[in-house]
Structures are given as structure tokens and as C-alpha cells.
DNA sequence: CCTTAAACCGACCCGCTGGTCGGTTCCCTT
DNA sequence: AAGGGAACCGACCAGCGGGTCGGTTTAAGG
């Protein structure tokens, strides 16, 4: 096989498994040997591709987490419809657990940000930046919604965006290990109520 | 000095300092030596009073964290006024950073729950139970509010309670190390808007 | 083939940290 | 004053886990 292909494949296997295990057990609670054993690779192989555990995780953040969050929560906002249902739908999608054994990406950021914000500012910043992109795009679509007459004029778009993000992140802490579908459903319902409060009251024809 | 008093004082100093340092650096990122050096105590003293680091933290949770959360977020709900302003006020108080060098208790639970939920189920359960008490009391005051005509009949009180908690917890992740007062203010504003959405529309006299 | 370098192996190193334990000091009791 | 036990000391232990490094395998290129 092509050496270049081989390299890419190994790195990809490492990253995919790494995301899975880090997400499941946390970064600092995962040792490389566990991951390596799963993949039948050695320390030598690992340190041939990454210069440290930290470097490894940063690669995962930038290649996998960032992409996924973007695809789930930012990409869908790229529309000119009424923003509120669009936002609601994207969040609902993001909270949807994937096929069995697939990673629930919706619940990664809060865990990792909390874990790193007291340990490793560099990585925390990478993660926060991902949130920031989401936030900026939320603000932007909310502002457009205001112009288009979907959202009440008095609403503070920046405040609304961080409020939405906060409630989304906080859900993770409430949902213990049990994937409580009821809780998710309730959350979406309450978010709808909040959206009612900030939407422009249409004059009935 | 009385031996019994001495014991209580040492344990109290250990717990207070422990809460401070654990909160600042995280439980697993704090080693006992750091705490002990600060207090000019030895390993021997520590293991004379606590049987393990875990036991130590559980003591802190039950003696300090639980009390504080209860005092800040549960106690104030014990009223028959309109629930929504009462809840809002209690949350605002809880998010208020204390006097300089005092611990901002408002931001502890999310951090600790996230840290322990992947490492130590027993401690995670203790922490979640604290949240649970808050939740139960929130539900209860909301239901009473419904009966008293302050809250719209269609509102799902359980859903509303967990939504409020989620948004509260999520704030922590958004506020980085910088105590961003603006963000806190915005959050309270948006929570008000949500409360508008669930309050009973009073018929104007 | 045969060279060369990338990919990989795994034994070993070493700092860190929770926990142990034999000993010492202090204070209360009798 | 003497005995005893609680409070405390700090050197030491042991496991864990990130990182190293000399060696081996593999495959592309001449």
C-alpha cells in the first residue's frame, strides 16, 4: 500500500478512536495505552504521528469536533427563512443521538470545555472558539430575523444567542448517563416557549 | 485547648481550603500536598481526619456545597409571592460573586458534576442530588404559582424547572475565567423574557 | 535485489501523587 | 507526675501514565 495512504489511515483511525474514548471517559482519565491496545498499535506508532497527547487531541478537535459542530449547528442557519424554527430544528438535530454506537456530538463541547478550562488554556481556547463561531452565526441570523420582521424589535440578539447556547450546554449536565429522551423533549418545548417570547407578534390579518 | 475543638477547627480549615482549591483547579488536578502546604499541615494530619481524598471531598460536598446551594437557591423559594420574580432574584443572587476572594458558589455544580460524572459515580450522585433538591423545589413553587394564577395553565412545570436549571448551569461554560458581568446581566434579561412567556396573562382591569 | 526511510514495536524511564507507617508532641485524666 | 490517647509529622512506598529510544519491519525507488 502507498506509504502516504497508510499514514493517513493510521492517523485517522487514531483520531476516530481517540474522539470516541476521550468523549466517553474524558481526556485526562484516558491513557494512551487503552486507545493503542484497541487499535493494536504501539507507543512508537503513536509518537511517530503525533508529538504529544496534547497535539493529538488538538488534531481531533480541529479535524473532527469542529467539523461536526459546524455541520450540525452552523451550516443549517444558512437560510433566509424564519430564524426561530430553523434554530430550534438544528438544536433538535444536534441533540439527536446518532445510530447506535455512534457518538452523540451534541454533548461534547460542555464536557470538554469544562474539563480543559482548568487544566489547559490552549485547548480550552480552541474549544471556546468553536462555540464562538456558533454564537456569531446565531447572532447574525437573529439580527436578520429582526430585519425580516420575525423577531421583536426590543430583543437583544447577543443576549438571546448566549442564552440559547447556555441552555443547550446546560442540558448535558442534567442528562446523566441515561439518554433521557423525555428531558430532551421537554427542553425543546421550553425553548419554543422562549422563542414565542422573542418573536414578533404578527398582526392577524 | 480542648482536643475536640482542635479537631473541629482543623477539619474545618481543611474543608474550607479544600473547597477553595478544588473549585479553582478541579478535584483531580489538585494534589493534597498543595492544600496541606497552604495550611502548614502534614499528610499524617490529613489522614488522621479523613480516610481518603474521596472521603474528604464528600465531606466538603455535604457540609459546604450542599448548605450553600440550599441557602442560595432553595431557601428563598419558600414564599407565597409570585414565583417568577422570586426565582429570578434567587438566581441573580447566586450568580453574584461574593466579596473579593470569596468563592462564587454559583459556578460550582456544573464544574464538579461534569468532572465527576465520568470518574466517580458516587460523588457525581451526591452532586446530582443537590441539583435534584433544587429541581423539586422549583417544580413545587411553579405548580403553586399555577394554582395562584401567576403562571399559565398550559405550562409544564417539570419541563420549565429543568430548563431553568439547564440555562443556569450552562452559563458557567460560557463565562470563561473572566467574570463577565455583561453576560450575567444578559442572561438575567433573557430569563425574564422566558418568564414572560410562561406567566399568566393577567386581564387588564 | 538492495538501499533507504517511513512506519511501527515495546521495554524502559521518570515524575507525580495518593496513601502508609513508625515515630513525636501535646493535652486531658487520674 | 505519670499514663494514654488524640493530633500531628514527614520519609517512604507503589502504581500509574506520558514520553523516550534503540531496534525491527515494510514498501517505494533505483
pLDDT, average across residues B49-61: 97
pLDDT at B106: 73
B48 Cβ within 7 A of any nucleic strand D atom: yes
Segment B23-53, tens digit of pLDDT: 999 999 999 999 999 999 999 999 999 999 9
Q: Read off the C-alpha cell for B24.
A: 479553582
Are A159 and B187 inside 8 Å of each other by CB?
Answer: yes
pLDDT, average across residues B74-92: 95
The count of residues in chain B is 205
- Please say if the pLDDT value at position B4 is more than 90: no
Query: What residue in B sits closest to A22 (Cα-Cα)?
Result: B118
pLDDT, average across residues B80-104: 85
Cβ-nearest to B174 among A166, A173, A183: A166
- Please say if the pLDDT value at position B178 is more than 70: no
Whole-structure pTM value: 0.93
pLDDT at B20: 95
pLDDT at B173: 86
* Amino acid B31 CA to nucleotide C14 C1' distance, rounded Å: 19
B138 Cβ within 7 A of any nucleic strand D atom: no
Rounded to whole angstroms, how far apart are CA atoms A81 and A83?
6
* Amino acid B32 CA to nucleotide D7 C1' distance, rounded Å: 18
Model confidence at B179, pLDDT cuts 50, 70, 90, reads low
Distances (CA, A) of A186 to A124, A192, B63: 30, 10, 33
CB of B88 within 8 A of CB of B195? yes
| Residue-averaged pLDDT of chain B | 92
Rounded to whole angstroms, how far apart are CA atoms A142 and A160?
8
Segment A151-202, tens digit of pLDDT: 999 999 999 999 999 999 999 888 765 567 889 999 999 999 999 999 988 6
Of B1 and A34, more confident? A34
Are B169 and A168 inside 8 Å of each other by CB?
Answer: no
pLDDT at B176: 63
Rounded to whole angstroms, how far apart are CA atoms B99 and B104?
9
Q: DSSP alpha helices (H): ranges in chain A?
A: 3-25, 32-39, 43-49, 53-60, 66-69, 83-95, 109-116, 121-147, 157-174, 181-198
Segment B123-170, tens digit of pLDDT: 999 999 999 999 999 999 999 999 999 999 999 999 999 999 999 999
Q: Which residues of chain A have pLDDT under 70?
A: 1, 98-102, 176-179, 202-205
pLDDT at B7: 87
- Please say if the pLDDT value at position B204 is more than 80: no
pLDDT at A18: 97
- Please say if the pLDDT value at position B62 is more than 90: yes
CB of B91 within 8 A of CB of B191? yes
Residue A168 sits at the chain B interface (C-beta within 8 Å):
yes
Please count the other Cβ atoms lying within 10 Å of the Cβ belonging to residue B29.
16
Tell me the sheet residues that pair with A151.
A199
Residue A127 sits at the chain B interface (C-beta within 8 Å):
no
pLDDT at A175: 78
Amino acid at each position: 500500500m502507498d506509504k502516504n495512504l497508510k499514514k493517513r489511515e493510521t492517523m485517522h483511525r487514531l483520531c476516530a478512536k481517540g474522539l470516541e474514548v476521550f468523549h466517553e471517559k474524558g481526556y485526562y482519565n484516558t491513557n494512551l495505552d487503552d486507545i493503542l491496545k484497541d487499535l493494536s498499535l504501539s507507543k512508537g506508532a503513536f509518537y511517530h504521528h503525533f508529538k504529544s497527547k496534547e497535539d493529538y487531541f488538538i488534531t481531533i478537535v480541529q479535524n473532527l469536533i469542529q467539523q461536526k459542530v459546524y455541520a450540525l449547528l452552523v451550516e443549517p442557519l444558512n437560510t433566509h427563512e424564519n430564524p426561530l424554527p430553523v434554530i430550534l430544528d438544528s438544536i433538535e438535530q444536534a441533540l439527536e443521538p446518532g445510530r447506535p454506537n455512534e457518538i452523540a456530538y451534541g454533548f461534547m463541547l460542555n464536557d470538554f470545555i469544562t474539563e480543559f478550562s482548568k487544566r489547559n488554556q490552549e485547548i480550552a481556547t480552541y474549544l471556546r472558539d468553536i462555540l464562538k463561531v456558533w454564537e456569531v452565526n446565531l447572532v447574525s441570523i437573529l439580527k436578520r430575523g429582526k430585519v425580516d420582521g420575525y423577531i421583536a424589535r426590543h430583543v437583544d440578539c447577543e443576549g438571546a444567542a448566549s442564552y440559547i447556547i447556555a441552555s443547550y450546554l446546560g442540558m448535558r449536565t442534567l442528562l446523566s448517563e441515561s439518554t433521557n429522551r423525555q428531558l430532551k423533549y421537554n427542553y425543546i418545548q421550553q425553548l419554543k416557549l422562549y422563542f414565542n417570547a422573542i418573536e414578533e407578534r404578527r398582526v392577524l390579518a
